[in-house]
Structure 1
Amino acid sequence: MSRAFNRFLPRFALVAVAAGSLAGCGVNTIPTAEENAKAKWAEVQNQYQRRADLVPNLVATVKGYAKQEQDTLVKVTEARAKATSVQITAADLTDPAKVAAYQNAQGQLSQGLGRLMANVEAYPDLKSNENFLALQSQLEGTENRIAVARRDYNDAVQSYNTTIRTFPAVIGAKVIYGAKPMVPFQATTPGADTAPKVNFN
């Protein structure tokens, strides 16, 4: 019994040291941080999709009142189509060009909505229309949710990027996972970091 135990003890110690070394190299920390960042990105996309779903209703409501704003309505519709056609997967979050293309498309839609909201100031009947007021409120709430989702994503990316660049996790990041830094969300279009104006006071 004692011999078997003596033979087992060195093996157990070796396994314990190896497990401790791997844990210290970020074997669990890195995928946890990566999955958290991916989940936060999914919420960013969810909120952008919510906004894209509201745009056709907004355009239809405005069309009935703002006949002179057809050019702006067309541009908003085109920007929405482009924003929904540019897709990015969680695997693309380490590719700055793909992230920038997605951000640019969303920024163009933000700008179009901002112009549309500014232009409808001239339509008092529209501004008092219940459907328009409801859409205005939903868009305002969506823009707030987008801002929160982007902030949460950037926080998760910062945590992940810090993890894969600091010792001892950097060893596991390079050797085991081949981890690359994720790209934080940045406003690439002038004014894209500002929510469309929806205040009609």
Structure 2
Amino acid sequence: MIPNLVSAVKGYMKHEKGVLESVTKARASLLSGSMQAKAKASNQITEALKSIFAVAESYPQLRASENFKHLQEELSGTESKIAYARQFYNDAVMQLNQAIQSFPTNLFAKLFNVHQRDFFAVEEKERRNVKVEF
């Protein structure tokens, strides 16, 4: 979805090349790397998308584009799915961390070298919804 959004906006913002490049690089980072790297890439994408929507306000033709409106709705839905997945992951981490601290699973955890995991956390300022008016 993100590449489609970038394609829809690209023609209208040739001078905003840096924003488009940052979205592309962050998307590539999101697909590989550690959990911390993925969290950082997710934050970079969020910031870049904020920039894209801010630029879009300067282009009435883009704001009127049905394709762009549809992509904005998809982005909103995707953000909701990401929040759900983050909560699901954090619940699983909490269950694992509790399990490896209690008997007898703590014995198996030591035997199989299972350690506590970190929660997936995003700073509050990055969690806030961006209000984009078209």
TM range (shorter): 0.7 to 0.9
After TM superposition, the structure 1 = structure 2 runs for residues 1-201 of structure 1, keeping only pairs within 5 Å, are: 54-84=1-31, 86-87=32-33, 98-175=34-111, 177-187=112-122, 191-195=125-129, 197=130, 199-200=132-133
- Secondary structure, in 3 states, of the residue corresponding to 1:192? helix
Counterparts of 2:93 and 2:29, CA distance in 1: 26
**Offset of residue 179 of structure 1:** 1.5
Which fold has the larger relative contact order, with Cα–Cα distance below 8 Å and residues 6 or more apart in sequence? 1
Q: What runs of 5+ residues in structure 2 fail to find an aligned partner?
A: none
Give 1 or 2 for the bigger CA radius of gyration: 1
- Name the CA shift for 1:198/1:138 in 2 (closer, same or farther; >3 Å): farther
- Name the CA shift for 1:182/1:67 in 2 (closer, same or farther; >3 Å): same
Contact 1:157/1:184 (8 A) holds in 2: yes
**Offset of residue 198 of structure 1:** 5.9
Which has more helix, going by share of residues?
1
- Name the CA shift for 1:136/1:198 in 2 (closer, same or farther; >3 Å): farther
What CA RMSD, in Å, does the superposition of the two structures yield over aligned residues? 2.1
Q: What runs of 5+ residues in structure 1 fail to find an aligned partner?
A: 1-53, 88-97
- How many residue pairs end up in the alignment? 134
Percent identity between matched residues is 37
* TM-score, with length taken from structure 1: 0.59
